[in-house]
């Protein structure tokens, strides 16, 4: 038997209540001290554990403090710095491309809108939602990673496979 809209809403509210009770101190697992560091850490987190990203960014954030620092370094050196996060060549291109755009188009500041964030290389909805929600307290969407997608299926909150469609169902 199919759930009515009202039943689905009640079940979803119950799930949220249980999750809040089970995880009252839920927070972003990526170590950062500002929106820029969170942006870099989130780009690095693709296909990588938060634990590994935090190990890499501990040194990275001491070495590179602002977008201009990432632009001054040779790509081969940055690749070495982030190599253990995997896909280091693509991530280097994304980080340096995002930093170039931050400097040229956003006065070195991380944008505060979904539309502007999505213009940055290496930034899709997941990264934009993380930065907006965690760094700026702006909730325009839901972060859908592998785990959220999997749990959303198990909890019967979506039948979708695509992250954007899952996000829409969860919203």
pLDDT at 92: 98
Q: Mean pLDDT of residues grouped by 10 in the chain (171 residues)?
A: 88 94 96 98 96 98 98 98 98 98 98 98 97 97 94 94 94 90
Question: Which CATH code fits 35-124?
Answer: 1.10.340.30
Cα separation, 68 vs 134, in Å, equals 23
Query: pTM of the predicted model, to two decimals?
Result: 0.93
pLDDT at 1: 77
Apex CA 171: angle with CA 1 and CA 91, to 5°?
125
pLDDT at 94: 98
Which residues are known catalytic residues?
Answer: 126, 145
115 CB-side CA count, 13 A: 0
């Amino acid at each position: 038997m199919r759930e009515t809209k009202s039943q689905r809403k009640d079940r979803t509210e119950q799930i949220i209540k249980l999750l809040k009770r089970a995880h009252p101190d839920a927070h972003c697992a990526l170590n950062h001290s500002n929106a820029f560091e969170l942006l870099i850490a989130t780009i690095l987190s693709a296909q990588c554990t938060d634990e590994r990203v935090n190990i890499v960014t501990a040194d990275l954030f001491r070495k590179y403090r602002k977008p201009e620092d990432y632009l001054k370094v040779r790509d081969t050196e940055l690749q070495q710095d982030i190599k253990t996060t995997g896909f280091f060549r693509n991530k280097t291109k994304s980080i340096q491309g995002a930093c170039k755009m931050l400097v040229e188009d956003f006065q070195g500041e991380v944008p505060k809108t979904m539309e502007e964030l999505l213009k940055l290389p290496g930034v899709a909805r997941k990264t934009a939602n993380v930065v907006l929600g965690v760094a700026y307290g702006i909730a325009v969407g839901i972060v859908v990673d592998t785990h959220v997608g999997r749990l959303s299926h198990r909890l019967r909150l979506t039948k979708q496979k695509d992250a954007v469609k899952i996000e829409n169902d969860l919203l």
